[in-house]
Structure 1
Amino acid sequence: MNILVVEDDGDIGAMLSRGLNAEGFDVEVATSAEAALDAARAYNPCAVVLDIMLPDGSGIDVCRALRSAGHSGPILFLSAKDEVADRAEGLGAGADDYIVKPFEFAELVARLRAHLMHRLGGAKDTRLNAGRLVLDLVTRQVLFGEIHVRLTEREAELLALLMATPNRPVARGDIFDRLWASQGGNSLNVVDVYVGYLRTKLAEVSRAGGPQVATVRGRGFMLELAGAGGGPH
């Protein structure tokens, strides 16, 4: 899916472009209101991530113009303006969501995906499944039978990555590139730390016969489904 990011801060725009590309989106970045409208006409994005304070106008006006032009995809404001009145104005202009800077990238991605899935009529698909394990991408709840576990944004993002290829290892470097590199991370050790956090959160699930995060020596980590065998833990 193609995403239009409208952001005049070069560092934030580059981070969003790298991160969303890593999540499988095609990204176009515009740095002004005029460029945003031109890009929307040329690019026809599935969704727009939109700053409010732009050098040549307001993102509020851009949002209204997009809606007037027939853009029906999700529009998410990403702004440092955090007053209730600011949020109300943004949502009143036709936006689907309003996220305040500074923000967690994982939360932005989860909200973006949720809005896209709702637009496609597939709200139920905000849940990922691996065997009997269910992860709700919006609430970050893990469900396994009667067991309910709540994850942090980063833990949920890590689990979602492993759930995409159950019983197949994902290299530490690949995990780092997907989850940390775009945000300035510089040490692979953070992967091991968060794998440890995730194992602790899933301990009850594992004891109940559910999936567990396994270490595959020399190859990385994988979500091992019950009865599948696998590498040492």
Structure 2
Amino acid sequence: MARLLLVEDDDTIGHALSSSLAAHGHEIAWHTRGRDALAEAARGPLDLVLLDLGLPDLDGVAVCRGLRAAQPDAVVVMLTARAEEMDVIIGLEAGADDYLTKPVRLAELHARVRAHLRRRAPATPGGPPALGDLALDTAARRVTVDGTEVTLRTKEYELLARLAAEPGVAVSRETLMSEVWDEHWFGSTKTLDVHVAALRRRLAEAGGSARLPTIVTLRGHGYRLDPP
């Protein structure tokens, strides 16, 4: 679980972002004012900050500088309606690592957050979280079980890769549909269940006596990939 600070003065946007990030398993501290955000940053380590530049009490760029000074190891992502190139450059020079222009697309937000947290995570012996005899090569889009490649259809692979990105974390149906299919998907979510069933079947057929993770159904919520 990552500890995230959200600095956003718009209640509608703040509620939407904080709820969605919490649903992805993150611990969220949400503040609407720059001074409160700086006080939060002084309380303890943060993994990532989402910072709206248009704050009611302090200039967002000044807050960015303060956050960078207090949290030198945290990732800072600006949320801004200012699309002008100069505003973006000033924000990046103030210590931000990345920016997203409003209105923020949730699928893109979560993808950016995951990417930044992966890059920030220190290397550990043994590499990524253990998935038993199942291995994913995301660069080549290959899946192997005990060294033997498993042929998956496109969405089956993308579904497995999304669940494997956060082993042991509950992922909602809405999140899977948004990130694996499309945020504007209007069809039945039954397609998700069909793909999960097919993915389970393909892994079981390839598994034999291999140690494989389990795709757990969370009724009323979504799915979770449990390591073996």
Under a length normalisation based on structure 2, what TM-score does the superposition of the two structures give? 0.64
Question: Alignment partner of 2:73: what SS?
Answer: coil
Q: Describe the superposition over 1:81-136 as per-residue Cα deviations: whole angstroms up to 9, x where unpaired.
A: 22222222221111111111222223222222322232233499789968556374
Which residue in 1 is equivalent to 2:21?
A: 20
Which residue in 2 is equivalent to 1:87?
A: 88
Paired with 1:157 and 1:29, the residues of 2 have a C-alpha distance of 30
Does the 8 A contact of 1:80 with 1:101 survive in 2? yes
Question: Alignment partner of 1:53: what SS?
Answer: coil
Does the 8 A contact of 1:129 with 1:135 survive in 2? no
- How many residues align? The count is 205
Which one-letter code corresponds to 2:67 in the other structure? L
Paired with 1:84 and 1:125, the residues of 2 have a C-alpha distance of 38
Paired with 1:129 and 1:2, the residues of 2 have a C-alpha distance of 24
Asked if 1:161 corresponds to 2:163, the answer is yes
Paired with 1:69 and 1:158, the residues of 2 have a C-alpha distance of 37
Question: Alignment partner of 1:42: what SS?
Answer: coil
What does 1:117-156 correspond to in 2, within 5 Å? Answer: 117-122=118-123, 134=136, 136=138, 142-144=141-143, 156=158
Question: Alignment partner of 2:82: what SS?
Answer: coil
Distance 1:190-1:26 versus aligned 2 partners, 3 A rule: farther
Q: CA deviation at 1:150?
A: 11
Question: Alignment partner of 1:39: what SS?
Answer: helix
Which one-letter code corresponds to 2:173 in the other structure? F
Gaps of 5+ in 1: 224-233
Identity of aligned pairs, percent?
31
Does the 8 A contact of 1:96 with 1:115 survive in 2? no
Paired with 1:159 and 1:42, the residues of 2 have a C-alpha distance of 35
With a CA cutoff of 8 Å and minimum separation of 6, indicate the structure with the bigger relative contact order.
2
Q: CA deviation at 1:175?
A: 3.3
Asked if 1:176 corresponds to 2:173, the answer is yes
Q: CA deviation at 1:199?
A: 9.7
Paired with 1:63 and 1:148, the residues of 2 have a C-alpha distance of 46
Distance 1:157-1:37 versus aligned 2 partners, 3 A rule: farther
Q: CA deviation at 1:37?
A: 0.9
Under a length normalisation based on structure 1, what TM-score does the superposition of the two structures give? 0.63
Paired with 1:190 and 1:176, the residues of 2 have a C-alpha distance of 11
Q: CA deviation at 1:6?
A: 0.2
Paired with 2:153 and 2:90, the residues of 1 have a C-alpha distance of 32
Which residue in 1 is equivalent to 2:4?
A: 3
Distance 1:80-1:131 versus aligned 2 partners, 3 A rule: farther
Paired with 1:128 and 1:150, the residues of 2 have a C-alpha distance of 23
Question: Alignment partner of 1:90: what SS?
Answer: helix
Does the 8 A contact of 2:45 with 2:71 survive in 1? no
Q: Describe the superposition over 1:136-186 as per-residue Cα deviations: whole angstroms up to 9, x where unpaired.
A: 4xx8x733479999979xx95785237747xxxx9xxx73365579xxx9x
Which residue in 1 is equivalent to 2:66?
A: 65
Does the 8 A contact of 2:68 with 2:74 survive in 1? no
